[in-house]
A and B are shown apart, each in its own frame.
Chain A
Amino acid sequence: MSLKDQLHVLVVDDMAVSRGLIVQALEWMGIRNIEVCNDAREASTRLSARPVHLVISDYNMPGGSGLDLLHTLRANKVTQRIGFILITGKADRAVIERGQKLGMNNYITKPFAPEALKTCIERVVGRL
């Protein structure tokens, strides 16, 4: 089985449209195991019960940012090795640097083309 068949991805975004767009891009890449979640807290609860390989999360969400989620994931033994890609509207230095410190695997700025997201993912998990 190829990587894209095995890879389990969780998309975290509070906006249904952004979630849809990300899922659409992932499906276009051929990734089959996609789950979605609409806030950071739900995501961390879910991930500690059922880890995935890669989390793709929006930065700006009510109730907890994408980096807050990353922080929680890295602090929990079960979830600390999950790959994490941050999606942000604006490449803000402070955000990127904090992400870097927390062990963010990669980031991408909105809006993005599916190709760009694919490159972004491939730099983390290898060729799909």
Chain B
Amino acid sequence: MSGNDLREAFFQECEDLLEALQEGLQQIDSPEHDPETVHAVFRAVHSIKGGAGAFGLDALVQFAHRFETVLDRLREGEISADGPTIKLFYRAGDHLSDLVAMARSGDDAAEPDGAELLGALDELAGDAEDEDLSDLSFQPMTLDLDMIGAPDPDAACEKAGQSASGAARWLIDFTPTAALYASGNDPALLFRSLAQLGALTVHADTSGVAPLETAEPGPPGLRWQLELETDAALPDILAVFEFVEGMCGLEITPAADSLYGEDGPKPALPDNAAPGEATAIDAASASDPTAAANDETSPPADAGAGGPDGHDSAPPPATPANVPGSPPMNGPTNGGKATGAPQPTIRVNLDRVDRLINLVGELVIKEAMLAQSIAQLELPNDSSLHAGLDGLKQLAGDIQEGVMAIRAQPVKPMFQRMFRIVREAAAATGKQVRLDVQGEHTEVDKTVIERLVDPLTHMIRNAVDHGLETPEERLGAGKPAEGRVMLSAAHRSGRVMIEISDDGGGVDRERVRAIAERKGLVTPGADLTATEIDNLLFLPGFSSKDQVSNLSGRGVGLDVARSEIEALGGRVLITSRAGAGTTFSISLPLTLAVLEGMVVEVAGQTLVLPISVIQETLQPSSVAIHPLGRDSHVLANRGDLVPLVDLGARLGYRSEPPVLDDRVLLIVQLDNGRRGALVVDRIHDQRQVVIKSLERNYGQVKGVAAATILGDGRIALIIDPDEVIGAGAEPPPGDMPAAATG
């Protein structure tokens, strides 16, 4: 890693540390906190300071140092984490995160003012100055150079690893149980891995195998005896069997002539292993792993007898693993398995993942094209081509799912940020607010999360600012002075639901209505249901505070938050109960890359509608259609009158057809909770389509959400039913692009 890479890695590490800090503080704040939490919080700040020092980020070091000193006193029990202190810690954490962001962007002009905060921390830090250690008589202890290369005489092997005599011989007795085979493991693969460690001899013991004619399905009878000559230590050998632990009888013992000590570790062995004997110290392997692998003169492994079915399950000859001068950083890190270690993760450049997603999209399209070509061949149904295609389809689907899972991230970091938003909003409004989160491990596409931060921030601020009452009002209403905002995430039927609810007074419908009437958003005296009034909050230009507060009323209203969410393919619903609070429910697609769509035909054009909005499909002849006004129609459906819109006419492909016979009606759910009916000519298919942004490749078109490529190579537009039906009063757009032939 170069210096710059390390610097970037430091900032990424900071993100994790700041998250840990935030979480730790919340735990300290809760009644049942673990004393270890204080240590974790301290460590987070300490590590930020350490890294910042290495990169010369002085402002960050200074502040982190002060913060750390206070946390140290907390750790030592010299101060306690009472209310004001924990509030100060939260602020200090926020400030620290600002400083990190500032250091990262290199923009020190925007240095947040921390003087007051530093003062407050100083007060808590007391006079804990850095100790003067000049009187400490520490003398470095020199290592005895003669012992270099031989840390333990018992296990000595001069110039570790450079002599071939360092190789130890191990006898491995391996008896797989049925579970091993059932879980898809293959002994041959295990032996191959072992052969990478050194020279391997395999002997298959088939004496336990019943003759074929009498064989019953039952416990497998194969057993192998292996002899491995290797420089690798026992943990490395055991690591080979890691995934079959508990699914086999395994006994690893050093061969009589091998070199081993007595004080070795007693490694945790799988079931039947003999821990007493299986201890060995292999000083030789303290060396570069390359030496170990290259020393082998590896006699080819004895190709053992195959299984009873004639299947040759013996491994190929041991090939010395050629690790060409691997850099020391890449040395084996799996030597000792630390228990309870976190799952290993890697950081991958997002571009690579996106490229992969794009490729998978192309794969899905190609597969659709192939399916179409095959269909045209009119092969018999039992053709192997069909089976092959089905297999391919399945695989493409699995790959797609797997790739999407890479992009999926827990909403936790985003939720964590909201704590700060609530703190700041509470401070600005003088309210007491507690934020509770639920389902923070719910995973959502990374892009969705990124683009959700702004609308969510806005809605959280809105909940504190407009949703909750002042402490006095709350006490007057018999509620606790501290208001509660609840943020939750959950997966529900292929979508992600995020809810923001408060226990405030609910939407004041009288006032909302009055404001909307005053602003000319609704006709005075119009007959509005409670839901319709609640939905007025989302209208552009609506701001329920008479005075625009400097918090949530920053010129942007809930309408902006809603359109941002809709741009993600999401929907927002508001529910409110007077005196009990308001809930905003956001429903989002799991991913922005594919969509389950219904492929329809209108005026010779192929279009796609998101299946999630389609409630039912109807034959026009089976329903009552009533004229409304001069040239509109409504349709009676389930006790409702639903506006009828001809998709082809609305998109400008044709004029309104006089007769609807042998066309199809699709009842779609709209965002405002209402429904609409779309007239299309035919339904072709229901399939997953890959979303290609139209905005990026062409430009935004009203009524069209995106485009996709169909199996026959043609481009189809993906319709946004809300815009199509919602655009009722507007004239049909003139610049509607006809789907080009791809």
Listed in ascending order, the chain A residues whose CB lies under 8 Å from chain B are: 3, 6-8, 14-18, 20-21, 23-24, 27, 32-37, 39, 41-46, 48-54, 60-63, 76-79, 81-83, 89-93, 96-97, 100, 103-107, 110-111, 120, 123-126
- Is the CB of B437 closer than 8 A to any CB of chain A? no
- Is the CB of B50 closer than 8 A to any CB of chain A? yes
* Chain B residues within an 8 Å CB radius of A6: 148-149, 159
- Is the CB of B651 closer than 8 A to any CB of chain A? no
* Chain A residues within an 8 Å CB radius of B13: 15-17
Nearest residue (CB) in B for A9 is: B328
Known: A8-B160, A35-B328, A78-B281. A53 touches B338 (CB 8 A): no
> Complex: how many Å from CA A120 to CA B138?
13
- Is the CB of B136 closer than 8 A to any CB of chain A? yes
* Chain A residues within an 8 Å CB radius of B343: none
| Structural contact, A110 and B50, CB atoms closer than 8 A | yes
Closest chain B CB from A101 CB (angstroms): 11
| Structural contact, A15 and B148, CB atoms closer than 8 A | no
| Structural contact, A107 and B138, CB atoms closer than 8 A | yes
Known: A17-B10, A60-B46, A81-B152. A50 touches B286 (CB 8 A): yes
Q: What are 20 A-B pairs at a CB distance below 8 A? A: A16-B9, A32-B328, A36-B331, A42-B337, A43-B336, A45-B265, A45-B336, A48-B264, A49-B335, A51-B283, A61-B43, A62-B43, A63-B338, A81-B152, A83-B143, A89-B46, A91-B130, A96-B133, A100-B138, A125-B143
Closest chain A CB from B187 CB (angstroms): 25
* Chain B residues within an 8 Å CB radius of A93: 131, 133, 136
Query: Given known contacts A18-B50, A53-B151, A125-B148, what 16 new A-B pairs fall within 8 Å (CB)?
Result: A8-B160, A16-B9, A32-B328, A41-B336, A44-B336, A45-B265, A49-B282, A50-B282, A62-B39, A77-B152, A78-B152, A81-B144, A90-B130, A91-B130, A106-B140, A126-B145
Interface size on B, residues (CB 8 A): 60
Contact of B47 among A15, A24, A104 (CB under 8 A): A15
| Structural contact, A50 and B43, CB atoms closer than 8 A | no
| Structural contact, B145 and A8, CB atoms closer than 8 A | no
> Complex: how many Å from CA A83 to CA B149?
12
| Structural contact, B286 and A34, CB atoms closer than 8 A | no
Known: A53-B149, A78-B263, A97-B136. A92 touches B1 (CB 8 A): no
Nearest residue (CB) in B for A76 is: B263
- Is the CB of B261 closer than 8 A to any CB of chain A? yes
- Is the CB of B53 closer than 8 A to any CB of chain A? yes
- Is the CB of B141 closer than 8 A to any CB of chain A? yes
> Complex: how many Å from CA A104 to CA B144?
14
* Chain B residues within an 8 Å CB radius of A42: 335-338, 341
* Chain B residues within an 8 Å CB radius of A34: 328-329, 331
Q: B-side binding surface: helix, strand, loop or mixed?
A: loop
| Structural contact, B329 and A49, CB atoms closer than 8 A | no
Which residues 1-33 of B have a CB within 8 angstroms of A?
A: 1, 3, 6, 9-10, 13
Closest chain B CB from A7 CB (angstroms): 7
Contact of B265 among A32, A48, A83, A89 (CB under 8 A): A48
Contact of A52 among B151, B234, B338 (CB under 8 A): B151
* Chain B residues within an 8 Å CB radius of A7: 148
| Structural contact, B339 and A49, CB atoms closer than 8 A | no
> Complex: how many Å from CA A42 to CA B10?
23
Closest chain B CB from A108 CB (angstroms): 10
| Structural contact, A17 and B338, CB atoms closer than 8 A | no
* Chain B residues within an 8 Å CB radius of A37: 333
- Is the CB of B270 closer than 8 A to any CB of chain A? no
Nearest residue (CB) in B for A37 is: B333
Which residues 409-463 of B have a CB within 8 angstroms of A?
A: none
Closest chain B CB from A14 CB (angstroms): 8
| Structural contact, B51 and A45, CB atoms closer than 8 A | no
Contact of A45 among B9, B49, B235 (CB under 8 A): B235
* Chain A residues within an 8 Å CB radius of B281: 48-49, 51, 78
> Complex: how many Å from CA A97 to CA B143?
19
* Chain B residues within an 8 Å CB radius of A60: 43, 46-47
Closest chain A CB from B267 CB (angstroms): 8
Closest chain A CB from B96 CB (angstroms): 16
* Chain B residues within an 8 Å CB radius of A45: 235, 265, 335-338
Closest chain A CB from B355 CB (angstroms): 25
Closest chain B CB from A68 CB (angstroms): 13
Write the B265-292 contact mask toward A (1 if CB under 8 angstroms, else 0): 1000000000000000111011110000
| Structural contact, B46 and A50, CB atoms closer than 8 A | no
Closest chain B CB from A64 CB (angstroms): 10
Closest chain A CB from B50 CB (angstroms): 5
* Chain A residues within an 8 Å CB radius of B47: 14-15, 18, 60
- Is the CB of B578 closer than 8 A to any CB of chain A? no
| Structural contact, A123 and B142, CB atoms closer than 8 A | yes
Closest chain A CB from B496 CB (angstroms): 31
- Is the CB of B189 closer than 8 A to any CB of chain A? no
| Structural contact, B329 and A36, CB atoms closer than 8 A | yes
Contact of B155 among A18, A44, A46, A78 (CB under 8 A): A78
> Complex: how many Å from CA A33 to CA B54?
23
Write the B38-58 contact mask toward A (1 if CB under 8 angstroms, else 0): 011001001101110110000
> Complex: how many Å from CA A93 to CA B331?
35
| Structural contact, B143 and A54, CB atoms closer than 8 A | yes
Closest chain A CB from B651 CB (angstroms): 54
Nearest residue (CB) in A for B10 is: A17
* Chain B residues within an 8 Å CB radius of A77: 152, 154, 263
> Complex: how many Å from CA A37 to CA B335?
10
| Structural contact, A81 and B151, CB atoms closer than 8 A | yes
* Chain B residues within an 8 Å CB radius of A97: 136
| Structural contact, A20 and B9, CB atoms closer than 8 A | yes
Known: A17-B9, A89-B46. A23 touches B138 (CB 8 A): no
- Is the CB of B147 closer than 8 A to any CB of chain A? yes
Write the B395-406 contact mask toward A (1 if CB under 8 angstroms, else 0): 000000000000
